[in-house]
């Protein structure tokens, strides 16, 4: 059991001032794996005051000290690899292999890549008769979701440390334990007391408290567009800066010279990895009309390459959804797709055969989808995808961009000029050509309603800084 009823405030684990607790459920077994305390506004305020008190010293730590902290955290993270991999399997339902190769790896990469970016980050620059100094924004509030428990916490924490910004983290209630291990690692790495605080609790109490707290200067949030909107509204009352990484309904354009089997496999991987609970997942597969029959067959054939089942089984690729609430939500979208008249190529409502316990969903593919259907416009966040056909490339791009979102875009094909043209004309924060590997130092974030701001690497650090223009001082900018 992972039970820990304390919050991490001002360098120590402290009792909650409230007495409400919550069970954390393993979505594969539907059983409790431990409890957390649901923090109160008083707990949050203690954490914010600790961060505020740490601001004058933490914001003046040197580049070298911050690099050392990040490197020590990375080492501590590596030492606790087995625990981190296991906890993300237990609280999220991530298959062990995916937990190790993706969840664990992403969390680690952020500490390492941010330390690297910090080495040459220019905090001061001369511009002739003035200089610009980039200073810590102040106290940061970090609100994270459950779908990538160490990726999303680590990128925010690493950037805040690099910028010298003391922080208060509220992890998702559904997946708090990976973040609590991270808190122990951060403590052991010698991050000064008050610079990192963690308060568990609900979005409506602690999340809302962070976005409205007068002593928090910046909120970095990842999660749903609806909550992002609430955070902006709340933050407006104290004119706080917000960075929002929200949802997506990303297109994957298959060009007419693409290898059909290869493209179909990529399309199915998007709804299989992390059970489709990925904000950048391609869930609108846009194919040439001429490919319709062959592509459908190739997708059906690809589905068994991503076996669904017990996350503890090393051969399993797709585990359960994180919670009953998400399972119900995904089921209702599958029903909606059927009602809207899309063709159910494979999958459908209910649980896969032999998986009655656990929040498992059948990998579901809809064809004959038009881009104005609800299933083509709303983020489903499960193993459900839609296939839409196009007549020519202009139409493919029109469909790709016909969404309120703009987080990611994908294209598969051969001709480099066309790939480049498509990459430039999809309006989204990251474009992946032919399933290319992604570097964790490249800026990550969205256009349109997919959010505001960027995370990862140097762009991530930038979010936690304020530029200050200085006129008249003759001391040259520091390197
Ligand atoms: P939420 O947006 O509700 O949760 C994300 C985080 O925000 C959690 O820590 C949550 O707390 C917190 N939160 C909730 N309400 C507030 C609030 N009023 N103020 C501040 N913080 C708040 O996502 P859900 O878990 O409800 O998932 C619903 C849908 O959101 C998914 O189906 C998916 O479409 C989308 N989503 C997108 C993600 C992405 O990566 N962009 C990640 C997760 C979800 P808590 O849950 O602990 O109460």
Q: Is the pLDDT of residue 261 over 90?
A: yes
What's the token pair of residue 45? 């305020």
pTM: 0.98
Q: Catalytic residue, from 245, 379, 455, 463: name it.
A: 245
- Contacts of residue 399, defined as CB under 8 A and 6 or more positions apart, other chains included, come to 251, 284, 286, 371, 388, 390
Ligand 1 neighbours (beta carbon < 6 A)? 143-147, 170, 172-173, 202-204, 207-208, 211, 222-224, 227, 230-231, 245-247, 279, 326, 329, 379, 381
Give residue 113's pLDDT: 98
Distance of alpha carbon 459 from alpha carbon 114, whole angstroms: 10
Centroid of ligand 1 to alpha carbon of 289 (angstroms): 37
259, 277 contact by CB (below 8 A): no
Give residue 201's pLDDT: 98
The share of the chain scoring above pLDDT 70, in percent, equals: 100
Q: Is the pLDDT of residue 479 over 90?
A: no
201 CA closest ligand 1 atom index: 47
Centroid of ligand 1 to alpha carbon of 247 (angstroms): 10
Q: What is the largest CA-CA distance in the chain?
A: 74
3, 14 contact by CB (below 8 A): no
pLDDT digits (tens, 9 = 90+) for 135-161: 999 999 999 999 999 999 999 999 999
Give residue 255's pLDDT: 98
Read off the pLDDT of each residue in 436-460 and give the average, rounded to a whole number: 97
pLDDT digits (tens, 9 = 90+) for 414-428: 999 999 999 999 999
Read off the pLDDT of each residue in 89-101 and give the average, rounded to a whole number: 98
Read off the pLDDT of each residue in 325-345 and give the average, rounded to a whole number: 98
Q: Catalytic residue, from 91, 173, 279, 462: name it.
A: 279
- Identify the bridge partners of residue 367 per DSSP, sorted by sequence position: 343
392, 345 contact by CB (below 8 A): no
Q: What is the DSSP letter of 378?
A: S
> Active-site residue 356, yes or no?
no
pLDDT category, 109, cuts 50, 70, 90?
very high
Give residue 478's pLDDT: 84
Mutate to test the pocket of ligand 1, among 220, 223, 404 (most ligand atoms within 8 A of CB): 223
Read off the pLDDT of each residue in 306-319 and give the average, rounded to a whole number: 97
The share of the chain scoring above pLDDT 90, in percent, equals: 99
Give residue 87's pLDDT: 98
DSSP E strand stretches across 85-157 = 124-127, 130-136, 140-143
Give residue 74's pLDDT: 98
What's the token pair of residue 112? 């390492």
> Active-site residue 261, yes or no?
no
Q: Is the pLDDT of residue 25 over 80?
A: yes
What's the token pair of residue 232? 């902006």
- Which residue minimizes the CA distance to atom 42 of ligand 1? 223
Centroid of ligand 1 to alpha carbon of 62 (angstroms): 35
Centroid of ligand 1 to alpha carbon of 384 (angstroms): 19
Give residue 333's pLDDT: 98
Give residue 279's pLDDT: 98
Give residue 235's pLDDT: 98
Give residue 257's pLDDT: 98
Mutate to test the pocket of ligand 1, among 178, 201, 203 (most ligand atoms within 8 A of CB): 203
- Which residue minimizes the CA distance to atom 12 of ligand 1? 203
What's the distance, Cα to Cα, between the start and end of the chain in Å?
49
Q: Is the pLDDT of residue 60 over 90?
A: yes
pLDDT digits (tens, 9 = 90+) for 370-383: 999 999 999 999 99
Q: Is the pLDDT of residue 474 over 90?
A: no
What is the residue-averaged pLDDT of the chain?
Answer: 98
Centroid of ligand 1 to alpha carbon of 277 (angstroms): 12
pLDDT digits (tens, 9 = 90+) for 205-219: 999 999 999 999 999
pLDDT category, 234, cuts 50, 70, 90?
very high
Q: Is the pLDDT of residue 454 over 80?
A: yes
234 CA closest ligand 1 atom index: 19
Mutate to test the pocket of ligand 1, among 210, 227, 271, 375 (most ligand atoms within 8 A of CB): 227
Give residue 305's pLDDT: 97
Looking at the chain, how many residues does it have? Answer: 479
Centroid of ligand 1 to alpha carbon of 173 (angstroms): 10
Distance of alpha carbon 328 from alpha carbon 119, whole angstroms: 46
106, 117 contact by CB (below 8 A): no
């Amino acid at each position: 059991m992972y039970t820990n009823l304390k919050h991490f405030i001002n360098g120590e684990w402290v009792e909650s001032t409230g007495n409400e607790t919550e069970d954390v459920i393993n979505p594969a077994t539907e059983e409790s794996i431990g409890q957390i305390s649901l923090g109160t506004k008083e707990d949050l305020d203690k954490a914010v005051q600790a961060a505020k008190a740490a601001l004058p010293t933490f914001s003046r730590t040197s580049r070298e000290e911050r690099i050392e902290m990040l490197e020590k955290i990375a080492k501590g993270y590596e030492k606790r690899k087995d625990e981190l991999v296991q906890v993300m399997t237990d609280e999220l339902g991530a298959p062990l292999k995916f937990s190790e190769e993706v969840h664990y790896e992403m969390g680690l990469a952020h500490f390492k890549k941010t330390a690297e970016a910090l080495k040459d980050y220019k905090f001061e620059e001369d511009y002739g008769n003035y200089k610009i100094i980039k200073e810590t924004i102040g106290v940061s509030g970090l609100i994270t979701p459950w779908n990538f428990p160490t990726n999303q916490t680590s990128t925010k924490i690493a950037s805040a440390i690099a910028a010298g910004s003391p922080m208060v983290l509220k992890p998702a209630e559904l997946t708090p334990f990976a973040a609590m291990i991270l808190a122990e690692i951060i403590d052991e790495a010698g991050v000064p007391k008050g610079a990192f605080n963690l308060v568990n609790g609900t979005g409506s109490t602690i999340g809302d408290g962070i976005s409205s707290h007068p002593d928090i200067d910046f909120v970095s949030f990842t999660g749903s567009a609806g909550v992002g909107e609430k955070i902006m509204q709340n933050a407006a009352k104290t004119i706080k800066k917000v960075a929002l990484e929200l949802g997506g309904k990303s297109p994957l354009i298959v060009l007419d010279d693409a290898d059909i089997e290869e493209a179909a496999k990529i399309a199915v991987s998007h709804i299989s990895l992390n059970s489709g609970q990925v904000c950048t997942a391609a869930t609108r597969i846009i194919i040439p009309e001429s490919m319709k029959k062959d592509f459908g067959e190739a997708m059906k054939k690809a589905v068994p390459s991503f076996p669904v089942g017990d996350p503890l089984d090393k051969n399993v690729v797709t585990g359960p959804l994180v919670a009953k609430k998400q399972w119900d939500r995904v089921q209702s979208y599958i029903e909606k797709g059927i009602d809207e008249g899309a063709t159910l190529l494979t999958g459908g409502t209910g649980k896969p055969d032999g998986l009655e316990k656990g929040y498992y969903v059948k990998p579901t593919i809809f064809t004959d989808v038009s881009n104005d259907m609800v299933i083509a416009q709303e983020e489903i966040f499960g193993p459900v995808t839609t296939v839409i056909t196009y007549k020519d490339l202009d139409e493919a791009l029109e469909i790709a961009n016909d969404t309120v979102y703009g987080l990611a875009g994908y294209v598969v094909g051969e001709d480099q000029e066309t790939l480049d043209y498509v990459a430039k004309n999809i309006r989204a924060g990251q474009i992946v050509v032919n399933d290319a590997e992604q570097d964790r130092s490249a800026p990550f974030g969205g256009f349109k309603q997919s959010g505001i701001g960027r995370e990862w690497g140097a762009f991530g650090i930038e979010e936690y800084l304020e530029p200050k223009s200085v006129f008249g001082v003759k001391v040259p900018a520091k390197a």
